[in-house]
C-alpha cells in the first residue's frame, strides 16, 4: 500500500499539518463549471458490488482526498485503469500521459493521502456512516447525470432515499410567518404523498420542510455543506439525529469537514441534482435558494415557486422566478400535477396519504372548546401574528384560562402555531 505522511496541496508546501481542517475545501475542490463545458456525465455507469471491502473503501477515500483532482478527471482515469487501486499503482509519467496535472500526479504516485483516508474510515465507523462511490448501484442516476457530480457521497441513514423521487424545498433562513406556513404545508403534504423532501437543514425554510416531512411520517433527506458527523447550525443537532435515524443525511464533504460558507453553493448542486424538481418558498433575489433554482433549470428539472407579497423582500426571489418561467404553485397538488407520470407511479403506494383526503380544519375535533376554537381561528391569520393579549381582549366573554387552554388544544391539533413573544398564527 502507498503511504505518505505529508500531503501536497496544489503543488505547494508539503508541510501542511494533518488535521480535519486540512481536508479538501473549496480552495482545492473542483466546483461546477457550466460556463466552460455543458457536457454531462453519462446517466449510467459500470456498477460495483453494493458493499465495498474495507480496502476498496480506503482507496476510494484516498483518491477523493487528492487535491486538484475533480470528478470528471477521476472518471476518465477509472475508464483507463478500471479501479482506484490500479490508479495508485501508476507512476507519475503514466498519470501525466493520462491527462493528470503534475501536482496531483505526484500526490497519486506517492500515495500521500492514505493516512487521512484511514482517519476518514475511523470517523465513518464512529458515526455509522456509509460511503457511496460514483460507480455504486446506490448512487442516484439523476445526480450522476449532472455537469459536475460528486465522486463520493458520505451518508447516514436509509440509502434507498438517494434514488427515491424527491422534491427540493428551499428558501430563506429568515422566513416570515407566511413562509413558515407554506414550507410546513408543502413539506408535510408532499412527503405524505410519497415524495422524498430534500433540503439543506439550514435555519428557516429548510428546517420547516424537514420537520413537516418527519411529522407526517414521510421521507426526508438533508444535504450537508459539512461532514455528516458535524451539525450546522448547532441548534439542529436533534433534527440531525432524527433525520439520520428516520431518513437520510448525505454530503460530499469528508468526515469532520467544517461548514465553510463557500461549501453551501457547492452543496446546492446536489440538492437540485438528486431531485425531480425544486420548490422555492421565500428568498431574496440573490440568495442560496436562487442558486439552487438556477442549477435546477440548467439541469432541466422542474422549477416551482410560491408567490408572495410584492412588498416583502423575502418574496422577491420566488416572484422573480415566476416571471422568468418557474411554475407558480399555490397548493401541493399543483406540484404533483406537474410531475411526470412515471414519477407519480413510483411514489404511489397503499400507505401514501392522499392530499385530497387529508383532514381539514373543519373536520378535526376540538372537543368541548369547539365554539371558542372556532372564534380563535376566525381571528388568527396565516401571515399576520396576533399577540395573546390582543386575542384575550377580543374574546372578553371567555376567561384567560379558557382561551389559553383552547390555544394549546389548537396547537396539538396542528391548527394554530405559537411564535416567540406569545404570538400566534393560524396553521395553513
pLDDT bin (cut points 50, 70, 90) of residue 287 is confident
Q: Convert the pLDDT of each residue in 267-278 to its tens digit.
A: 999 999 999 999
Are 205 and 175 within 8 A, CB to CB?
yes
- Give the CA radius of gyration of the chain: 24
Q: What's the pLDDT at 103?
A: 95
Q: How confident is the model at residue 417 (pLDDT cuts 50, 70, 90)?
A: confident
pTM: 0.77
pLDDT band at 128 (very low <50, low <70, confident <90, very high): very high
116 pLDDT above the threshold of 60: yes
Cross-sheet strand order for the sheet of 416-419: 386-387, 423-426, 416-419
d(CA 28, CA 67): 6
CA-nearest of 87, 57, 59, 70 to 24 is: 70
3-state helix, strand, coil in the chain (%, to 5): 45, 10, 45
pLDDT cut 70: percent of the chain above it: 83
Q: What is the pLDDT of residue 122?
A: 97
Q: Mean of the pLDDT values across residues 182-186?
A: 95
Distance separating alpha carbons of residues 325 and 246, to the nearest angstrom: 35
Domains of the chain by start residue, with CATH: 1-20+50-127 (no CATH), 159-347 (3.40.50.450), 367-426 (1.10.10.10)
CB 418 within 8 A of CB 406: no
Task: Kindly indicate the confidence band of residue 349, based on its pLDDT and cuts at 50, 70 and 90.
Answer: low
Element (H, E) at 190: helix 177-192
What pLDDT sits at residue 286? Answer: 81
The predicted structure's pLDDT at residue 33: 38
Q: What is the pLDDT of residue 141?
A: 95
Tell me the average pLDDT of the chain. Answer: 85
pLDDT at 377 over 60: yes
Residues 159, 133: contact at Cβ < 8 Å?
no
What pLDDT score does 142 carry?
96
Greatest CA separation for the chain: 88
DSSP-derived secondary structure letter, 139:
S
Flag whether pLDDT at 366 surpasses 60. Answer: no
Which pLDDT does position 405 carry in this prediction?
Answer: 86
Question: Among 4-8, 161-165, 167-171, 260-264, whose mean pLDDT is lowest?
Answer: 4-8
pLDDT digits (tens, 9 = 90+) for 135-175: 999 999 999 999 889 999 999 999 999 999 999 999 999 99
Give the model confidence (pLDDT) of 64-74 as tens digits. 999 988 888 99
DSSP 162: G
Share of the chain above pLDDT 90, in %: 62
Task: Find residue 199's DSSP bridge partners.
Answer: 222
Kind and range of the H or E element at 279? Answer: strand 277-280
Tell me, what's the pLDDT at 383? Answer: 78
> 363 pLDDT band (50/70/90 cuts)?
very low
Q: What is the pLDDT of residues 217-252, one digit of tens each?
A: 999 999 999 999 999 999 999 999 999 999 999 999
Question: What pLDDT is attached to residue 97?
Answer: 94
Kindly indicate the confidence band of residue 368, based on its pLDDT and cuts at 50, 70 and 90: low
Quick: pLDDT tens for 25-60. Answer: 433 434 333 333 444 555 444 444 446 789 999 999
Amino acid at each position: 500500500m502507498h503511504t505518505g505522511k505529508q500531503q501536497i496541496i496544489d503543488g505547494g508546501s508539503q508541510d501542511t499539518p494533518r488535521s480535519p481542517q486540512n481536508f479538501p475545501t473549496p480552495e482545492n475542490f473542483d466546483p461546477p463549471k457550466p460556463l466552460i463545458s455543458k457536457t454531462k456525465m453519462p446517466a449510467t455507469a459500470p456498477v460495483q458490488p453494493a458493499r465495498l471491502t474495507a480496502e476498496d473503501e480506503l482507496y476510494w477515500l484516498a483518491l477523493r482526498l487528492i487535491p486538484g483532482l475533480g470528478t470528471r478527471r477521476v472518471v476518465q482515469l477509472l475508464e483507463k485503469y478500471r479501479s482506484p487501486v490500479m490508479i495508485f499503482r501508476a507512476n507519475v509519467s503514466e498519470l501525466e500521459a493520462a491527462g493528470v496535472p503534475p501536482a496531483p500526479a505526484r500526490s497519486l504516485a506517492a500515495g500521500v493521502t492514505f493516512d487521512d483516508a484511514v482517519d476518514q474510515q475511523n470517523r465513518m465507523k464512529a458515526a455509522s456512516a456509509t460511503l457511496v462511490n460514483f460507480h455504486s448501484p446506490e448512487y442516484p442516476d439523476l445526480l450522476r447525470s449532472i455537469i459536475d457530480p460528486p465522486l463520493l457521497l458520505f451518508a447516514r441513514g436509509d440509502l434507498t432515499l438517494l434514488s427515491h423521487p424527491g422534491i427540493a424545498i428551499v428558501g430563506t433562513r429568515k422566513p416570515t410567518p407566511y413562509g413558515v406556513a407554506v414550507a410546513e404545508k408543502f413539506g408535510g403534504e408532499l412527503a405524505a404523498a410519497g415524495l422524498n423532501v430534500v433540503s439543506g437543514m439550514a435555519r428557516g425554510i429548510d428546517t420547516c420542510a424537514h420537520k413537516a416531512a418527519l411529522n407526517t411520517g414521510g421521507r426526508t433527506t438533508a444535504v450537508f455543506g459539512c461532514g455528516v458527523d458535524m451539525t450546522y447550525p448547532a441548534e439542529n443537532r436533534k433534527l440531525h439525529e432524527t433525520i439520520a435515524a428516520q431518513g437520510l443525511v448525505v454530503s460530499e464533504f469528508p468526515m469532520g469537514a467544517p461548514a465553510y460558507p463557500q461549501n453551501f453553493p457547492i452543496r446546492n448542486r446536489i440538492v437540485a441534482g438528486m431531485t425531480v424538481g425544486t420548490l422555492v418558498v421565500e428568498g431574496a433575489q440573490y440568495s442560496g435558494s436562487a442558486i439552487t433554482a438556477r442549477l435546477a433549470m440548467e439541469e432541466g428539472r422542474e422549477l416551482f415557486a410560491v408567490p408572495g407579497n410584492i412588498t416583502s423582500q423575502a418574496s422577491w426571489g420566488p416572484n422573480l422566478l415566476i416571471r422568468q418561467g418557474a411554475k407558480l404553485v399555490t397548493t401541493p397538488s399543483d406540484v404533483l400535477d406537474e410531475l411526470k407520470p412515471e414519477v407519480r407511479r413510483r411514489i404511489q403506494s397503499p400507505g401514501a396519504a392522499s392530499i385530497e383526503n387529508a383532514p381539514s380544519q373543519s373536520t378535526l375535533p376540538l372537543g368541548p372548546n369547539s365554539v371558542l376554537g372556532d372564534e380563535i381561528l376566525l381571528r388568527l391569520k396565516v401571515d399576520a401574528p396576533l399577540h395573546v393579549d390582543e386575542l384575550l381582549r377580543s374574546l372578553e366573554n371567555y376567561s384567560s384560562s379558557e382561551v389559553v387552554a383552547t390555544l394549546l388544544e389548537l396547537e396539538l391539533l396542528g391548527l394554530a402555531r405559537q411564535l416567540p413573544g406569545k404570538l400566534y398564527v393560524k396553521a395553513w
